[in-house]
Amino acid sequence: MEILDLPIIGFSVETNQYQKETLASDNYHYNINKDIEISATPFVYNQFIASGDYSKFPSIVSKISLALKFSADMHYLIGNVSPNYYDILGACGWGLYNTMPESVIVENDSPSIINVEIGTDQVHVFRVLTSIGMLTDCYYNRKPATIEVAFPEFDIAPRQHVTTMYGGMGTTIFRGKTGSPCSIEFNFLGCHGGYSTRNNEDIIVPSGFDTVLPKSLMSATAYLHNTVIYIDDFEITCGNVLSLFSDIFSPNGYNGTRITDRFATGVLKVHEDSNNIETVYNKIKNNDTGTLTITNGGLALHCSGVQLKAINDECTKYSIDINNTMSLAQEVI
Amino acid sequence: MPVLSYEGNSVTLPQPVSVSTDIELPFDIVTLDDGTKLRYDNGEQYDKRVCKCCFHLTPIQQLNLNTFLYTTARANQLTLDAESDGFHPFAPDKGDGGNFTVSVMISGTPSIMTFPFRYFKCDLIIQNTGSYPAYSLPSEVDEGSWDFGTVENLNYPQAGFKPNMFYSVSISHTENSTPYYIDRSANADYASSKMILNCNESKAAAVLYYLTHTVRANAFILDTRSYFIIFGIDYEDGDPKYVIINSNKIIVNQTGYDNWTIELQLAIDFTQESR
């Protein structure tokens, strides 16, 4: 039977942490079906015993982990409801809260680029919790998820072939390229929950999708160190360190993944005429920290504690370090 | 930022780059002739907690600290306020806020470095010398399935267990290799195990509070589940075991964001378990 390369993602934060959830149709409401990669990694112990010609005996398979990668286009809130992909951010060390960082200005969705400050209860804002300094708040760092990738068959009564991860946590990469929507790449690591097949009468059909179309990165405005820069594209990596914890009692040898550290970095590709090499050099030399804000038609990505890390010969590519604080704001439309 | 103060003078330090705390328990552990171990607990008020932490300081910060410790507040007890900012000087069960009464010494002479550039590496030894400020333990966040006494859902220790089964049998050999066995009977056998628990902050706080406040030198029940083989295969019947703390020191390390290790040694309590 031919299996179509049209997978859908099912996702649920685990009610009982590190225990596999049973997913239903409303767990499949993500319009995410691109750049999906699945990679299972068995931990194999090769036995070399000096008793034969090649000293090789059957290997022992033990721990098995699963890595998942997929991307979502970033789009607006619907009314005052978060986009569905916000759930997935929750398992990547992001926490939902309802107050705006003072320095974040959410841009109005209009060609004239009028900056409008949004009041406290009108938007949902995600912010990466700092990895050092907020030790008392363990909660958002412990939202492991069960994730399924379901591939349909091409048939009159198609089945679904499902790969399952549980106890998974992830990290994110935000990308923007002029002419395309901004996207979030999710990289998850977790326990291998096995492969299964749903018969036709049991296949899960998504309950619905977000209908808001993502905006292309066209009129983005970026500020670095309170200075306007003109960007061609950018990539901001949250840099969560995903540690897969072993458990010899667990059937697959793993208990689940925890985020144990974070090294947020990014790369900005800028127009030459927006640079001043002397200024940039001094910022690097003086350990200056600033902020980075990129707004694009209702989306605002804000990073504080940004330090310039490197700049290329043509002054068109900045590498940055981010001191663990990022926020993503979205305008209500 | 941690603040050290003395009679209206203070010095503010940056966040430490590494933190380790030794909890020294005032247990007298005696091994009787038949191998039975007895413990006497002098009481919680005799616990000692010593924080060994490292700071990266600019020359000005280092000079200010030296002046404060060895001129302004020389040979006096200080107050340490960690300002609820994540620095738990005396382990997570004692919190990171409020005023701790402490003695502070610089370990060795700090030296300047090139990486980080023009910073001093300054190691401090801070000992708690008073009562602890009030602190409520954080809500526990589950992260595994192992039960440690009444603290549930801990991680499996990532480095495993190091069991030590001791059989009270020794052998003496004569010159012609005739063996003479000295057997103090199975009653003198014992089993202990060293382990390093890997915990998030909430679980580390719960475990340390449980060990140093609730059970102390008394026995508690440990989940000795399949494949853990905590005390060696002889004692692996799958049933929970009564165990006791088998050393006077617990070492607590903060290894990263919300990650703690707790090094400790436990032994089976053979006054309640059969050999």
Give the pLDDT confidence of B207-226 residue by residue, as tens digits: 999 999 999 999 999 998 88
**Is the pLDDT score of A285 beyond 70?**
yes
pTM: 0.87
Provide mean pLDDT across the span B133-137: 94
The pLDDT score that the predictor gives to residue A109 is 30
The pLDDT score that the predictor gives to residue A239 is 86
What percent of chain A has a predicted confidence (pLDDT) above 70? 77
**Is the pLDDT score of A140 beyond 60?**
no
Query: Is B41 an 8 Å CB contact of chain A?
Result: no
Residue A156, C-beta contacts closer than 8 angstroms, at least 6 positions apart? none
Provide mean pLDDT across the span A157-161: 93
| Residue pair B268/B231 in contact by the 8 Å Cβ criterion | yes
CB atoms A138 and B225 under 8 Å: no
What percent of chain B has a predicted confidence (pLDDT) above 70? 99
Which DSSP category does A286 fall into? T
Q: How far B30 CA lies from chain A's nearest CA (Å)?
A: 34
Query: Is B18 an 8 Å CB contact of chain A?
Result: no
CB atoms B141 and A138 under 8 Å: yes
Query: Is B15 an 8 Å CB contact of chain A?
Result: yes
Query: Rounded distance, CA B96 to CA B84, Å?
Result: 5
Provide mean pLDDT across the span B197-215: 95
The 10s digit of each residue's pLDDT in B48-98 is 999 999 999 999 999 999 999 999 999 999 999 998 888 999 999 999 999
Query: Is B225 an 8 Å CB contact of chain A?
Result: yes
Which DSSP category does A140 fall into? G
Residues of A in contact with B258 (CB under 8 A): 135, 138, 141, 260
At A251, is the pLDDT very low, low, confident or very high (cuts 50, 70, 90)? confident
Query: Rounded distance, CA B171 to CA B193, Å?
Result: 24
Q: Which of A14, A138, A263, A285 to mutate to test the interface with B (most CBs of B within 10 A)?
A: A138
Query: Is B201 an 8 Å CB contact of chain A?
Result: yes
CB atoms A18 and B142 under 8 Å: yes
CB atoms B88 and A249 under 8 Å: no
In 3D space, the residue among B18, B32, B46 whose CA is nearest the CA of residue B248 turns out to be B46
**Is the pLDDT score of A250 beyond 70?**
yes
Tell me the one-letter amino acid at A326: M
* Three-point CA angle A23, A27, A33, nearest 5°: 115
Residues of B in contact with A132 (CB under 8 A): 15, 86, 257
Residues of A in contact with B154 (CB under 8 A): none
**Is the pLDDT score of B32 beyond 80?**
no
**Is the pLDDT score of A205 beyond 60?**
yes
**Is the pLDDT score of A132 beyond 60?**
no
SS (H, E, C) B219-231: CEEECCCCCCCCC
The average confidence (pLDDT) of chain A is 78
CB atoms B138 and A258 under 8 Å: no
Q: In this predicted structure, which of A190-194, B33-37, B267-271 has the lowest mean pLDDT?
A: B33-37
The pLDDT score that the predictor gives to residue B8 is 94
Structure-block tokens of residue A301: 């990505």
> Which DSSP string do the residues of B147-195 spell out, in sequence order?
EETTEEEEPPPTT-EEEEEE--EEEEE-TT--EEEEE--GGG-EEEEEE
**Is the pLDDT score of B100 beyond 90?**
yes
Taking the alpha carbons of A301, A307, A310, A314 in that order, is the dihedral positive or negative? Answer: positive
The pLDDT score that the predictor gives to residue A297 is 66
Q: How far B200 CA lies from chain A's nearest CA (Å)?
A: 8
Residue B174, C-beta contacts closer than 8 angstroms, at least 6 positions apart? B180
Residues of B in contact with A256 (CB under 8 A): 143
The average confidence (pLDDT) of chain B is 93
CB atoms A260 and B146 under 8 Å: no
In the stretch 234-263 of chain B, residues with CB closer than 8 A to chain A read 256-259
Q: Which of B84, B152, B161, B258 to mutate to test the interface with A (most CBs of A within 10 A)?
A: B258
Provide mean pLDDT across the span B188-216: 94
Peptide bond into B116 cis (omega under 30): yes
The pLDDT score that the predictor gives to residue A119 is 33
The pLDDT score that the predictor gives to residue A246 is 93
Query: Rounded distance, CA B225 to CA B229, Å?
Result: 8
Q: Which of A132, A136, A243 to mutate to test the interface with B (most CBs of B within 10 A)?
A: A136
At A174, is the pLDDT very low, low, confident or very high (cuts 50, 70, 90)? confident
CB atoms B257 and A131 under 8 Å: yes
Query: Is A134 an 8 Å CB contact of chain B?
Result: yes
The pLDDT score that the predictor gives to residue A70 is 94
At A53, is the pLDDT very low, low, confident or very high (cuts 50, 70, 90)? low
Q: Which of A135, A258, A260, A284 to mutate to test the interface with B (most CBs of B within 10 A)?
A: A135
Query: Rounded distance, CA A233 to CA A211, Å?
Result: 26
Residues of A in contact with B96 (CB under 8 A): 135-136
The pLDDT score that the predictor gives to residue A1 is 72
Query: Rounded distance, CA A219 to CA A210, Å?
Result: 23
> A249: buried, middle or exposed (CB in 10 Å: 19+, 13-18, 0-12)?
middle
Residue B37, C-beta contacts closer than 8 angstroms, at least 6 positions apart? B29, B30, B31, B190, B246, B267
Q: What is the longest distance spanned by two Cα atoms in chain B?
A: 78
Q: Tell me, what's the ipTM?
A: 0.86
The pLDDT score that the predictor gives to residue B186 is 84
* Residue predicted with more confidence, A4 or A104: A4
Query: Is A15 an 8 Å CB contact of chain B?
Result: no
Q: In this predicted structure, which of A6-10, A29-33, A243-247 has the lowest mean pLDDT?
A: A29-33
Q: Residue A44's CB: how many other CB atoms inside 10 A?
A: 11
> Residue B141: which of A139, A260, A262 has the nearest Cβ?
A139
